[in-house]
Structure 1
Amino acid sequence: MPRIMAAAAALAGSASRILRKIIKGSARLWPAVTAAPGCWSCSQGAKRYLLRDNAIGLQQFQEKKLATRRLIYEDKDSYFRNIKEKMEKKELILRNELKILLHLCQTSDDVEIAKSAIYRYHSENRTMAFGDYKFGPIFMRLCYELGLEVPAVELIKDETLYGFFSDGQSFALLMDMLFKKGYYEDAFEVLEEMEKQHVKYIKDTFLLAFAICYKLNSPVSWKKFTKILEENQFQLDTLPRITYCFAVAFALKQNDLEKAQYIYSLIMNPDSRLCTNLKILMQIKSGALEETLKTLEAVLEENTPELVKKTQISEQVLATVREELEENPALLVRLEDIYDQLKASGKVTKLTLDEMLCKIPLYKEYYKKLSTERTVSLRTFKPLQSVLKTE
């Protein structure tokens, strides 16, 4: 109907004017785009579990907690009372005592006692921390399990505890927890704190750093992102694909096409929906109009088996392409035809690029559903202990 109305209104004009009005009328057939320009919604939009389960180690931590409760001869409350008495008498807190204490914590009140023990232990063993047992990841997994990001940030930034969180894993766990909850500013401060304490980057750090900077999308985060790229060039060729995708997306957000193209070239296997959408954005922003349409046609021509996931193009990415083709009627008509065919074959998605980047992986959604539905033991039919619940 929009095409017919537009054509009828233009009959009195010249042939070129008729063509332009028909093309502009066809725009009404495209879905409305409500997100911010550039194919990304606001920075507080979709959230993602950045680290995989094996990197977080929550299941193993909960199993260790269960084993610890079985091994100690006294009940939990008695053990906590004994630790509090030792601290009141200014007696030494031994390494194994602190380890057991952290694995017995089940509430925020328990964590407050554990915090006092950590301060005491570190003050007594500060000079012996090098090469010793790492308590940082244990405490961060405990906070992760209980959703206690405030004490986690408090302790990791406390100068009196410098050296206690001396590993990249502790910082990664905290940044992931903050990112998942949408606390991007706090996560950025933890990243800065990591550098302040001269803690070395691990692979997970790059993913977290790029994702945090992408979400903030500020001059400060862009400066930090650029600095990370410049100082870690030799480590940038072995990162996971999603890490590069966050970096490419951020560079595009900042209109640095050259940097986006360079980072994209580092991706060993760009055969994914996200990479295809990023490629199309880079092509259209570079003025390669013909190449952009050829990429879309290649997606259209893909013969994907029924059980294999199809490559899908974001409606917002297609809307961006359309905006760039406004002044080229012939290519715009060709794009309209491609769009109709993509739509008919199920190769167009309503997901924005931001939602693609931050989509919770399917296995995470599955376990999240299990943890929501299952509150009773399948073996005893009694309520599950908090330590046994799935993440």
Structure 2
Amino acid sequence: MANVLNILLKNTALCPLKHAVKPQLVSLFQTQVRTLYSESTLGIDGYKAQRLRTQNQLSNIAEKFRTKMHDYTSDDSKNMIFTEDLKNMIHLAENDDVDLIIKMMNRFNEQNKQLRFGTFVFGPVVMRMFYYLNKPDEALKCFKSENLKGFFDQLITYQLLMDLMYNNQRYQDILDLFEDIRERQIESTQFPRNIIVLTLAACYKLNTKESWDFALNLWNKLMEAGHMPMRRAVTFCAALALKQNNPSACLEMISSAKNQNYTTVRNLKVLALTQVGRIEDVLPILKSVYNQDDSMKNQTFNVDVIELIKEQVEKLDSVEVKQEFSKIHSYLKDNHISDMTLEEQLCLEIATPPFLGNKRNNYNNTQDMRYNRFQRRNDDFTKRRPFDSKRPGLSDMQ
């Protein structure tokens, strides 16, 4: 398919343009800002719950604990930062605590290079903290820090960081991160599915020639590797092709989607066909919903897509096509036209993670699953602390 796409992009004569749509079709895709992955999908709701538990447990000593951690991270301090300290501070974190936590992470990571005290994986929970506090600059700086090399190498951590960038419209940062993540190839995964979705979403949002070239290059690599992107990745890339006036590429990309009847796939297909002037091929797709039951109400075609098709039909000389479309439109407007625009539907929040067997894909990293099992077994962090007879514990600060 990669070769086919390249040929199509270079040879527009392959597409009939008798009634080609002007670039006004691109106006359907007005950029909107919203989150891509929901908090539950990313585990942010779990982080919030643990914050509340930790704050309740340490309510009487929180400030003393903060002061102690400042002392322990001073340049002349010989004290060690233990797993429990960092966990508690991450779940107590407010905006003013970020610098302290970064110092604690650096010291913890340095002291653990020679001896690892525990199996707790901090990357995901630290990134959830940055996400919760909306600290994209600090998150990116820590991710790239040589002092924290290996600290954030988990697939869910990558997803959290890229989604944080997406929320802050840092789309170019996402593309830069993708190259870095590919080089790391954690768990021997060259093309993590959720990372691909976020990367192509960033390309779609940027909507520049450079981002289109990036997306097309990535798409070709996916096809060459035999990787089948998730539907959301396919629709972002195909929609970008339309934005960049490449309906041929859109049609080829859409053809790889497993479910050709899915609403965004269907809408993109009819738009691409409309853009290349093949209205006669659009009508059968519009009529394909005739036998669907009422459970598909308002889930079939987007209102702005139907309006654009209507405009193009009215420009045709064919009375027969106009009459047929009028009949189809009368049927569709009763049950099968959604008030949601295509842009809104393309960028809907991903609220429920895909299931792989009985495991949720938002914890598709074995280390992150181990972290969550560990966290459930140890909700009360103050009950256990490393043995250190010279050092006061949390209970000693009361």
- Structure 2 distance, partners of 1:39, 1:102, is 44
Q: CA deviation at 1:60?
A: 1.8
Identity value in percent: 23
- Asked whether the equivalents of residues 312 and 347 of structure 1 are also in contact (C-alpha less than 8 Å), the reply is yes
- Asked whether the equivalents of residues 296 and 336 of structure 2 are also in contact (C-alpha less than 8 Å), the reply is no
Equivalence for 1:353 = 342
Per-residue displacement from partner, 1:74-126 (whole Å, max 9, x unpaired)? 72212222211111214322233222221222x10122211111122233335
Per-residue displacement from partner, 1:316-338 (whole Å, max 9, x unpaired)? 32344345542433355236514
Matches within 5 A, 1:51-130: 51-69=37-55, 75-88=61-74, 89-105=77-93, 107-126=94-113
Which deviates more from structure 2 when the two are superposed, residues 326-335 or residues 161-170? 326-335
1:329 to 311, 318, 343: 318
- Scaled by the length of structure 1, the TM-score of the pair is 0.71
Equivalence for 2:219 = 229
- Asked whether the equivalents of residues 39 and 320 of structure 1 are also in contact (C-alpha less than 8 Å), the reply is no
1:94 partner letter: F
Q: 1:231 to 1:146 in 2, by over 3 A?
A: same
Query: What is the Cα-based RMSD across aligned positions, in Å?
Result: 3.3
Q: CA deviation at 1:304?
A: 2.8
Secondary structure at 1:191's aligned position in 2? Answer: helix
Equivalence for 2:390 = none
- Asked whether the equivalents of residues 28 and 342 of structure 2 are also in contact (C-alpha less than 8 Å), the reply is yes
- Structure 2 distance, partners of 1:36, 1:287, is 14
Alignment pair present for 1:254 and 2:241:
no
- Asked whether the equivalents of residues 47 and 360 of structure 1 are also in contact (C-alpha less than 8 Å), the reply is no
- Structure 1 distance, partners of 2:37, 2:114, is 32
Q: CA deviation at 1:342?
A: 4.6
Which deviates more from structure 2 when the two are superposed, residues 277-286 or residues 257-266? 257-266
Unaligned runs of 5+ residues in structure 1 are 1-34, 364-391
- Scaled by the length of structure 2, the TM-score of the pair is 0.70
Matches within 5 A, 1:22-37: 37=25
Q: 1:309 to 1:349 in 2, by over 3 A?
A: closer
- Asked whether the equivalents of residues 157 and 193 of structure 1 are also in contact (C-alpha less than 8 Å), the reply is no
Q: CA deviation at 1:208?
A: 0.6
Q: 1:207 to 1:336 in 2, by over 3 A?
A: same
Alignment pair present for 1:295 and 2:295:
no
- Structure 2 distance, partners of 1:128, 1:168, is 24
Per-residue displacement from partner, 1:257-315 (whole Å, max 9, x unpaired)? 4443333233222333222211212332344322211212333x24532x543344234
- Structure 1 distance, partners of 2:72, 2:43, is 31
Which deviates more from structure 2 when the two are superposed, residues 348-357 or residues 111-120? 348-357
Q: CA deviation at 1:198?
A: 5.0
Equivalence for 2:306 = 318
Equivalence for 1:14 = none
Alignment pair present for 1:191 and 2:217:
no
Q: CA deviation at 1:63?
A: 2.7
- Asked whether the equivalents of residues 296 and 338 of structure 1 are also in contact (C-alpha less than 8 Å), the reply is no
Alignment pair present for 1:170 and 2:170:
no
Secondary structure at 2:29's aligned position in 1? Answer: coil
- Asked whether the equivalents of residues 197 and 233 of structure 2 are also in contact (C-alpha less than 8 Å), the reply is yes
- Asked whether the equivalents of residues 149 and 177 of structure 1 are also in contact (C-alpha less than 8 Å), the reply is yes
Q: CA deviation at 1:362?
A: 8.2
The one of the two structures with greater contact order (alpha-carbon pairs below 8 A, sep at least 6) is: 2
